Amino acid sequence: MNAPVATHNLIKGATGDWEIVIGMEIHAQVSSQSKLFSGASTAFGGAPNDHVSLVDAAFPGMLPVINTECVAQAVRTGLGLKAQVNLKSVFDRKNYFYPDLPQGYQISQFKHPIVGEGEVIVDLSDGRRIVVGIERLHLEQDAGKSIHDLAPASSYVDLNRSGVALMEIVSRPDLRSSEEAKAYVTKLRTILRYLGTCDGDMDKGNLRADVNVSVRRPGEGLGTRCEIKNVNSIRFIGQAIEYEARRQIGIIEDGGSIDQETRLFDAVKGETRSMRSKEEAHDYRYFPDPDLLPLTFDQAYVDGLAAALPELPDAKKERFIAQYSLSAYDADVLVAERDTADFFEEVARGRDGKAAANWVINELFGRLNKEGHTVATSPVSAAQLGGIIDLIGEQVISGKIAKDLFEIVWSEGGDPRALVEERGLKQVTDTGAIEAAVDAIIAGNPDKVEQAKAKPTLLGWFVGQVMKTTGGKANPQAVNDVLKAKLGIE
């Protein structure tokens, strides 16, 4: 609370500056074949109630049996968040009524979660680095899905999601702006995807956020917070925070006070709305689930999982900077997805790291984004891109021709070196040929020659002309040298 207030995060109200305080609860669906306590499939989609066992539908007498892989996934995630992993944790019942919760309670973890305190390091686009505290991670069941628009007077319930394992990851109220909140979720998603413990697919609802927002005058204690439920895209998280902070500031500046309540974000209108009708249900009467013994494992089990973890984004970034001399920015871009980082490393192997990064980030990503491709579906393979970079390095082709070659490989495929041979794309380094081209241009443009002597910047025009007559294949450095000599420019 006594941390200095960072002024760049303050927002202006009518009566002065305000600080936003944000904490988040992220619900991340555990990547597993079957559900947390039953053998039904977790596959997305499926016909209504097809991925449902008698356990998920809470038939009388059915008992939950925990999925060992879901436990391992939660432990891996805890390790990835540099968090305390608890060797003993307890499942509790969280009681409430809703049609898509057939048990009448959600099996969750309340007092004794599987994972305790940890942290996430977040690098912001303006170069600042923040450390976001993790309060806990616990395992719980997802609910089913209610569909309200199939009939005017009824809701339709599909329990396919019912019982799927979720990790609820609770952050401390360490975030101070919508930018920080978005960067935190992005980073957390990256870590989960690296670990393989959640696919992070927000479109499918596999990662969603409850966002707690409050505002205060700089230096004051925490204000009353509102919780915005179930925001399902990173952009919406930003919009919901901006709207909610403005709403709260408006109320306080008008002399009102904030009611602690649950709100939902309306993506169409871009606003948050009260969900007051559900408020009274918030008496969950948690108690230990008598159907489940405490979950226990030993440190050797945790160590075994730790030893098998992949290199995580923070470590990979540091390594990329050290090993390939990349900028922090380029390293960030490359490590954001594991696929991308792997692709880059394949391109960079045995080559200049910076050149590889430039080509992957500037040429390849630009093109992939434009065409709606990902690295996995890239028409240009890492080997092909590496081949192009080799040809530049060997001065077989110029940088400009390399871009043309990239286009050819993108649309037609093929081996870059063979393509260069076939299509006569080789760079002309033969000084005789370049001199001939230069002589022709000089002879044809005596007026420009005169001007160039007074105004050396005209050299660029000559370079352009020579490149044009040589089809871009002349070595630009050689052209420059020859031109300077012939025109007498230093």
Q: Contact positions toward another protein, by CB under 8 A?
A: 32-34, 38-41, 47-57, 65-71, 90, 95, 97-99, 146-148, 150-159, 277, 283, 285, 288, 292-296
Provide the minimum distance between the beta carbon of 240 and another protein in the complex, in angstroms, as a whole number: 20
Q: How many CB atoms neighbour CB 17 within 10 A?
A: 13
Cβ(28)–Cβ(209) under 8 Å?
A: no
Which among 114, 116, 118, 120 has a CA at the least distance from the CA of 191?
Answer: 120
DSSP secondary structure code for residue 471 in this structure: T
Own/partner pairs for 337-340, CB < 8 Å, 24+ apart? 337/190, 337/193, 337/375, 338/193, 338/194, 338/310, 339/374, 339/375, 339/376, 340/375
Q: Identify which of residues 281 and 383 has a Cβ nearer to another protein in the complex.
A: 281
Q: Identify which of residues 55 and 479 has a Cβ nearer to another protein in the complex.
A: 55
Q: Which residues have C-beta within 8 Å of that of residue 139, sequence separation ≥ 6?
A: 30, 36, 70, 71, 74, 91, 108, 109, 113, 114, 165, 166, 167
Provide the minimum distance between the beta carbon of 47 and another protein in the complex, in angstroms, as a whole number: 6
β-pairing verdict for 295-296 and 11-13: unpaired
CA dist 428 → 382, 395, 438, 468 (Å): 27, 10, 13, 13
Provide the minimum distance between the beta carbon of 262 and another protein in the complex, in angstroms, as a whole number: 15
Sheet containing 287-288: order of strands? 105-108, 92-95, 287-288
Helices 178-195 + 234-253 axis angle, to 10: 150
Indicate left, alpha or beta for 152 from its phi (over 0: left) and psi (-120 to 50: alpha).
Answer: alpha
Provide the minimum distance between the beta carbon of 56 and another protein in the complex, in angstroms, as a whole number: 8
Q: Identify which of residues 299 and 374 has a Cβ nearer to another protein in the complex.
A: 299
The whole-angstrom separation of Cα 230 and Cα 249 is 23
Q: Identify which of residues 40 and 385 has a Cβ nearer to another protein in the complex.
A: 40
Provide the minimum distance between the beta carbon of 256 and another protein in the complex, in angstroms, as a whole number: 25
Q: What angle do CA 392, 396, 402 make, to 5 degrees?
A: 45
Q: What angle do CA 163, 168, 169 make, to 5 degrees?
A: 160
Provide the minimum distance between the beta carbon of 235 and another protein in the complex, in angstroms, as a whole number: 25
Provide the minimum distance between the beta carbon of 233 and another protein in the complex, in angstroms, as a whole number: 22
Cβ(294)–Cβ(139) under 8 Å?
A: no
Provide the minimum distance between the beta carbon of 393 and another protein in the complex, in angstroms, as a whole number: 47
Q: Identify which of residues 257 and 277 has a Cβ nearer to another protein in the complex.
A: 277
Provide the minimum distance between the beta carbon of 277 and another protein in the complex, in angstroms, as a whole number: 6
Amino acid 252 reads: I
Q: Identify which of residues 285 and 453 has a Cβ nearer to another protein in the complex.
A: 285
Provide the minimum distance between the beta carbon of 284 and another protein in the complex, in angstroms, as a whole number: 9
